[in-house]
């Protein structure tokens, strides 16, 4: 039988069937001995991007740290759906303190491990965009600035979903939320990956739930560094965005393929790699399936708003060199 | 070992003897000298394995302490005033999670108007957050209370606040007897946490609790605090035996045997109060003092017992519950409810206003004759207040109130 090299994109995504790959390149999730750190049975919505992202990220971190992992979790969907006691989904030591202090709690855990000489035990902090870009931002920046030995993972679904879809500083322009009923304003928002890079921390990366091999690889890479690290994962939310629950991965892929969400890696403040767009698409392809953007298409098409969003995507593509052109 | 040092330095050295593993520091007057001294001690390698973290806010200071304590480390921080309020959410959280953090509060007023001097408004504002609150009368007691605080916190899995008057104690150079490392090691056992974030035995900490169990969880928080009411006096006795001096306990009676009038107070003002009372006693007045060392949990029985013979009680307090009056006095009245006697509030020393013996003796004498108002503001300039109020009645846009009071106080001519 002739040798046929496996290309990740042969199924159109990076989530290629793992059985086609040699064992060492399969995903952590494909391994029977994966840790199921965020175990099944939790209360996340059908199609929850955050649950998918967290499951891959934490299991990859568990593998990378030889299961010596502690997690601090911000208040939010991930915290609420995983732990109405006594039914915790967490198979790792896990603490939830408050909404806005997760990075600092993680700093404390890391300090305790250092004081006790447990250098092999690593610490993750995780939260949604509200807990990261808004209320937890002071503690996050403090943790970065001190270069504390913590990997902070933000699962960004672009609004306060746990409280019923209100705007956050990660909500994109024009998106409709319960507190931006005519669409979020243009020209606002906070680019936390770039702000993280401005702190000069060892590692900053973005990822999406459409490219789970890439997400796992970035968690693994992050764990090769000591000091503050930041991973910003784009996770879709069927409830808050208004798309079918079987479209979550597709939404994340479209965000990347349109240039809406640039996927890259940075070390010590400099971008070192980007995930190229494989088939560039207009932003309309991404906006149209989501009810939060429905007002851009009906009753009349809002050409100006769509053009402005396209311009933002174009800027990303140029800035990060997301296409070879 | 006897030393002539600043109160802050004494506390820092005592904390160092308790072998903390994580110290979080964020500066706020008048707490700064404590964390500065600890930073120096850590840098000099005098505390063994200890992480000293300069955080970006008090909210972060308490949050780092939460993480460290949950990971099984002995955690300490210090704050005051606005800083204590900035960490308020994390204070409830640390108590609710049952984390035995010890914190010094260098008591200071709360703004606005901004004021850096001493009163008790800061820790009083957090009296219901689930922390044990101990009040130091002297620098010696402040350092001794920290040694007791770590043991108490870790035994009960509850956080403890050691409150000491800002500037009056923190910045005063006094002779203190600094215990040896061996003495402290013998008194304070190794920290054995009831819960710990450990990969070998994973637990989830801080999960949501609904109506089906929340009452029981809160009840247990209360019940655990009440356990401190038996532990605190027992360990104060043990401390007395081991270190050769009294410190802590629930209450501190002074000249109470035949006292018909009892002054209740907390903190460093007790020294002035005792001086005032000594002189009144010399003049034949049957008057005594009850110092409150443990404000939370509130020592109902000890207070009721100590005030058992009193015909009237004067509560001298450095805080004001706006719209009510006294805070400590409310607790005293509840305690004395079965046997109603007059409980007079004297609000004193706000924002660092000196509390003089002469002023105290005047209000105490009024109290003895039962001629004191139920709530009295010590040394209040009533005429000034009336002038400010009259101006407000005359002018709609009368301007910022504190500035108007200052204008009157310093008699700045009107423009």
Answer yes or no: is A170 within a domain. yes
Q: Are the Cβ atoms of A145 and B24 closer than 8 angstroms?
A: no
Of A88, A108, A139, the CB nearest to B65: A108
As a whole number, mean pLDDT of residues A241-255 equals: 97
Do residue B207 and residue A108 have CB atoms under 8 angstroms apart?
A: no
Judging contacts by C-beta atoms under 8 Å, the chain A residues touching residue B73 are 108, 111-112, 115-116
Structure tokens that stand for A210 in this block? 């459409």
Question: What's A133's DSSP letter?
Answer: I
Pick A113's closest partner by Cβ from B71, B202, B207.
Answer: B71
* pTM of this structure: 0.96
pLDDT of residue A18: 67
Interface residues of B toward A, Cβ cutoff 8 Å, are 21-22, 24, 49-51, 53-57, 59-60, 62-73, 75, 89-90, 93, 97, 197-199, 201-210
Whether residues B73 and A111 touch (CB distance < 8 A) is answered with yes
List the CATH number of the domain containing A104: 3.40.50.970
C-alpha B329 chain-centroid distance? 15
Collect all residues of chain A within an 8 Å Cβ-Cβ radius of residue B60.
101, 104, 107, 138-139, 142
Phi-psi region of B284 (alpha: psi -120 to 50; beta: other; left: phi over 0): left
Q: What is the pLDDT of residues A250-267, one digit of tens each?
A: 999 999 999 999 999 999
Of B64, B93, B209, the CB nearest to A107: B64
Count of Cβ atoms closer than 10 Å to residue B369 Cβ: 9
What six digits make up the tokens of A139? 């503690």
Q: B80: distance to nearest CA of chain A, Å?
A: 20
Per-residue pLDDT at A87? 87
Low-confidence ranges of chain B (pLDDT < 70): 412-415
Would you call B204 and A90 a contact, using CB atoms and an 8 Å cutoff? yes
Question: What is the maximum span of chain B, computed from C-alpha positions, in angstroms?
Answer: 73
Q: How confident is the model at residue A166 (pLDDT cuts 50, 70, 90)?
A: very high
Q: How far is CA A218 from the centre of its chain?
A: 11
Residues in chain B: 415
Q: Does the pLDDT of residue A285 top 60, yes or no?
A: yes
Distance CA A69, CA B197 (A): 9
pLDDT of residue B411: 72
* Structure confidence at residue A11 as a pLDDT band (50, 70, 90): very low
Q: So what's the pLDDT on residue A22? A: 76
Q: Is residue B278 a contact partner of residue B359, using CB atoms and an 8 Å limit?
A: no
Asked if A65 and A122 count as a contact pair (C-beta separation under 8 A), the reply is yes
| Assigned domain for A146 exists | yes
In this predicted structure, the answer to whether residue A12 has a pLDDT above a threshold of 60 is no
In a domain, A14, yes or no: no
Question: Could you say which of B55, B71, B210 has the minimum Cβ distance to residue A109?
Answer: B71
Q: Among residues of chain A, what percentage have pLDDT more than 90?
A: 86
Q: Is residue A10 part of a domain?
A: no
Closest chain A residue to B61, measured at CA: A104
- The yes-or-no verdict on residue A2 having pLDDT over 60 is yes
Cβ contact B315:B345 at 8 Å? yes
Neighbours of B102 (CB within 10 A): 31
Q: What's the ipTM?
A: 0.96
Which residues from chain B sit within 8 angstroms of residue A148, using beta carbons?
53
Residue A159 lies in a domain: yes
Query: Whole domain around residue A234: which residue ranges?
Result: 34-320
Residue A240 pLDDT: 98
Q: What is the pLDDT of residue A15?
A: 53
Question: Do the domain assignments include residue A94?
Answer: yes
In this predicted structure, which of A18-27, A45-54, B47-56, B311-320 has the lowest mean pLDDT?
A18-27
pLDDT of residue A4: 67
* pLDDT (tens digit per residue) in B317-338: 999 999 999 999 999 999 999 9
Q: Rounded to a whole number, what is the distance in Å from the CA of A65 to chain B's nearest CA? A: 11
Can you read off the two tokens belonging to residue B216?
């029981």
What is the pLDDT, as a whole number, of residue A17? 56
Q: Cα dist. A151→A72, A122, B51, B199 in Å?
A: 10, 8, 19, 17
Mean pLDDT for chain A?
A: 94
Check pLDDT > 80 for residue A5. Answer: no
For CA atoms A126, A128, A132, A136, give the dihedral sign: negative
Confidence of residue A24 (pLDDT cuts 50, 70, 90): confident
Map residue A315 onto helix, strand or coil. helix
Per the domain annotation, does A113 fall within a domain? yes
Looking at the structure of chain A, the number of domains it has is 1
A235 part of a folded domain = yes
DSSP string, A282-318: -HHHHHTT-GGGGGGTSSS--HHHHHHHHHHHHHHHH
Q: Is the CB of B54 less than 8 angstroms away from the CB of A146?
A: yes
């Amino acid at each position: 039988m002739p040798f046929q090299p496996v290309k990740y994109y042969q199924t159109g995504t990076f989530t290629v069937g793992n059985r086609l790959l040699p064992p060492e390149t399969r995903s952590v999730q494909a391994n029977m001995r994966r840790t199921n750190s965020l175990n099944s049975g939790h209360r996340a919505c059908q199609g929850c991007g955050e649950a998918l992202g967290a499951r891959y990220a934490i299991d990859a971190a568990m593998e990378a740290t030889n299961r010596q992992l502690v997690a601090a979790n911000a208040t939010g969907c991930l915290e609420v759906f995983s732990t109405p006691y006594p039914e915790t989904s967490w198979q790792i030591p896990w603490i939830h303190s408050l909404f806005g202090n997760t990075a600092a709690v993680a700093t404390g855990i890391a300090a305790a491990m250092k004081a006790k000489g447990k250098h092999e035990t690593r610490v993750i902090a995780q939260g949604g965009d509200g807990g990261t870009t808004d209320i937890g931002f002071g503690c996050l920046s403090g943790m970065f600035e001190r270069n504390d030995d913590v990997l902070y993972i933000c699962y960004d679904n672009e609004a306060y979903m746990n409280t019923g879809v209100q705007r956050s500083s990660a909500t994109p322009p024009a998106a409709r939320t319960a507190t931006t009923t005519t669409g979020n304003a243009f020209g606002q928002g906070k680019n936390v990956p770039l702000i993280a890079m401005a702190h000069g921390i060892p590692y900053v990366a973005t990822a999406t739930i459409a490219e789970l091999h890439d997400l796992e690889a970035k968690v693994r890479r992050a764990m090769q560094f000591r000091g503050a690290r930041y991973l910003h994962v784009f996770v879709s939310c069927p409830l808050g965005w208004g798309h079918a629950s079987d479209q979550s991965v597709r939404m994340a892929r479209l965000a990347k393929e349109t240039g809406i969400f640039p996927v890259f890696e940075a070390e010590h403040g400099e971008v070192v790699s980007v995930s190229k767009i494989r088939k560039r698409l207009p932003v309309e392809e991404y906006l149209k399936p989501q009810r939060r953007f429905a007002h851009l298409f009906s009753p009349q098409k809002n050409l100006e708003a769509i053009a402005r969003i396209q311009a933002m995507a174009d800027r990303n593509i140029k800035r990060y060199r997301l296409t070879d052109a | 070992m006897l030393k002539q040092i600043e109160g802050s330095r004494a506390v820092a050295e005592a904390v160092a003897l308790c072998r903390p593993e994580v110290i979080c520091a964020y500066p706020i007057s008048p707490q700064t000298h404590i964390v500065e001294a600890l930073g120096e001690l850590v840098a000099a390698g005098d505390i063994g394995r200890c992480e000293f973290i300069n955080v970006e806010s008090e909210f972060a200071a308490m949050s780092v302490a939460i993480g460290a304590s949950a990971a099984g480390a002995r955690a300490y921080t210090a704050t005051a005033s606005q800083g204590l309020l900035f960490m308020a959410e994390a204070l409830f959280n640390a108590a609710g999670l049952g984390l035995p953090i010890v914190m010094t509060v260098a008591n200071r007023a709360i703004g606005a108007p901004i004021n850096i001097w001493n009163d008790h408004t800061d820790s009083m504002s957090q009296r219901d957050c689930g922390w044990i609150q101990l009040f130091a009368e002297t620098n010696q007691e402040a350092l001794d209370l920290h040694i007791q605080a770590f043991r108490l916190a870790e035994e009960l899995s509850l956080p403890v606040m050691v409150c000491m008057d800002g500037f009056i104690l923190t910045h005063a150079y006094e002779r203190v007897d600094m215990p040896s490392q061996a003495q402290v090691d013998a008194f304070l056992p190794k920290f054995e946490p009831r819960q710990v974030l450990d990969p070998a035995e994973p637990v989830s900490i801080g999960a949501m609790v609904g109506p089906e169990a929340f009452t029981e969880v809160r009840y247990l928080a209360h019940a655990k605090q009440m356990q401190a009411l038996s532990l605190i006096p027992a360990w104060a006795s043990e401390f007395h035996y081991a270190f050769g001096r009294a410190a802590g306990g629930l209450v501190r009676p002074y000249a109470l045997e035949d006292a018909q009038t009892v002054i209740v107070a907390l903190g460093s003002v007790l020294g002035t109060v005792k001086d005032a009372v000594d002189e009144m006693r010399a003049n034949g007045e049957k008057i005594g003092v009850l110092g409150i060392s443990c404000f939370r949990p509130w020592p109902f029985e000890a207070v009721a017992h100590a005030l058992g013979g009193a015909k009237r009680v004067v509560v001298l307090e450095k805080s004001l519950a706006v719209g009510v009056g006294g805070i400590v006095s409310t607790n005293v009245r509840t305690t004395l409810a079965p046997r109603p006697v007059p409980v007079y509030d004297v609000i004193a020393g706000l924002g660092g206003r000196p509390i003089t013996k002469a002023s105290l003796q005047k209000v105490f004498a009024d109290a003895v004759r039962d001629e004191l108002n139920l709530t009295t503001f010590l040394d209040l300039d009533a005429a000034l207040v009336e002038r400010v109020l009259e101006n407000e009645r005359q002018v709609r846009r009368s301007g910022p109130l504190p500035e108007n009071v200052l204008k009157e106080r310093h008699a700045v001519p009107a423009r």
